[in-house]
Chain A
Amino acid sequence: MTRYLWPLAGFAALLVFLAIGLRLKPQELPSALLNKPLPALRLSTVDSPEQYFDTRDMAGKVWVLNVWASWCGPCRAEHAVVQELAATRLATVVGLNYNDLRSDSQQWLREMGNPYLLSAFDGDGRAGIELGVYGVPETFVIDQQGRVRLKLTGALTHERLQSELLPALKALTHG
């Protein structure tokens, strides 16, 4: 009897693997920067080419870096959630405007509302390469020591905010 059960067991195991495979999200890659220091970046801001933002200025704070672009549809979709995040005042939210035109970005912020402390301007995407950005939007959580503690790829949703982002921020600010 068992000799007929073996192939069945093998087939069941295969089904389990395939089911797991279907649930994997190959689009969401773990960040190579996870638990490593955020690279130091000094960039002008979307507001003004003369005003500069340096990631090192954020030392000692828990903060969120949200990578966005005016041409990016999912960024538009997640914007309300970024506003919700900023409204909790759990952490400072800084924008990184990726591969964009300053005029377009300024227009976008006027239109959509600006939840960011400021948005650093990365017009040619080189800062994005430093951060391993491969698709916008992306969201990094950075701790007091300047290390990346969480990275979310793709649009934030209310659920992801509640289940992933806010718990991480609470743990970092109270821990």
Chain B
Amino acid sequence: MNKRIDNRMDRRMDRARAKPPASILRVCRSLLLCAGMVASASVFAKADLESQVQHVSEQLRCLVCQNQSIADSHAQLAQDLRREARQQLSTGRTEREVIDFMVQRYGDFVLYQPPFDPRTWLLWLGPFALLLAGLSALVVQSRKLEQSLEMENLAIAEES
């Protein structure tokens, strides 16, 4: 009888020994969860950084090849500028700040899209101004033609 109780006690002890206390399990589980979150956060941060680098690179002209952005170019300078952009973005600079940094050093020409300011108004608006001038010239001419045709018609009518 006593022996059976002992046995049962032993078995209970064994089971307790085999299964780690719940508190340790909980700590382990939360540690794992944390590690997972940190890992995925860094993966997301990396993907985010790369998309920022890409976005900035697409807006900057490669000054060696001139008709390519630094995102498209394999020139050494483009690689160096991408590296510089990546490095600055990773230290928490905004895309705007990185672009301003490049403009300060390379001038407006480094921007793939020229800024709209007094120096570039002619560039931006010139084509539309020319189009308007052409259209109004056309309208004026056709009115003149119409009038002279009417006059001719009148003259012909009077003659007959």
Contacts and interface: CB of A to CB of B under 8 A. Distances in A.
A132 B103 CA distance: 9
A129 B80 contact: yes
Interface residues of B, number: 14
A125 B106 contact: no
Nearest to B80: A125
Given A29-B63, A134-B64, A99 B80 contact: yes
B105 A126 contact: no
Contacts of B105: 32-33, 129-132
B77 A134 contact: yes
Contacts of B80: 99, 124-126, 128-129
Interface of A: 26-27, 29-33, 99, 124-126, 128-132, 134-135
Contacts of A130: 105
Given A29-B109, A32-B104, A135-B63, A129 B76 contact: no
Chief secondary structure at chain A's binding surface = loop
Among B63, B84, B103, B105: residue with most chain A CB under 10 A: B105
Contact of A32 (B64, B66, B106): B106
B85 to A, nearest CB: 10
Given A32-B105, A126-B84, 6 more contacts: A27-B66, A29-B107, A32-B103, A32-B106, A32-B107, A134-B77
B138 to A, nearest CB: 13
Contacts of A128: 80
Nearest to A32: B107
A160 to B, nearest CB: 20
B89 interface: no
Given A99-B76, A126-B84, A135 B109 contact: no
A125 B104 CA distance: 17
B63 A134 contact: yes
B114 to A, nearest CB: 13
22 contacts: A26-B66, A27-B66, A29-B107, A29-B109, A30-B107, A31-B107, A32-B103, A32-B104, A32-B105, A32-B106, A99-B76, A125-B77, A125-B80, A129-B81, A129-B84, A130-B105, A132-B105, A132-B107, A134-B77, A134-B106, A135-B63, A135-B77
Contacts of A32: 103-107
B64 A135 contact: yes
Contacts of A33: 105
A124 to B, nearest CB: 7
Q: Which 6 A-B pairs have the closest CB atoms?
A: A134-B63, A32-B107, A132-B105, A125-B80, A132-B106, A29-B109
B87 to A, nearest CB: 9
Nearest to A125: B80
Contacts of B109: 29
Nearest to B141: A3
A52 B107 CA distance: 29
Contacts of A131: 105
Nearest to B103: A32
B91 to A, nearest CB: 14
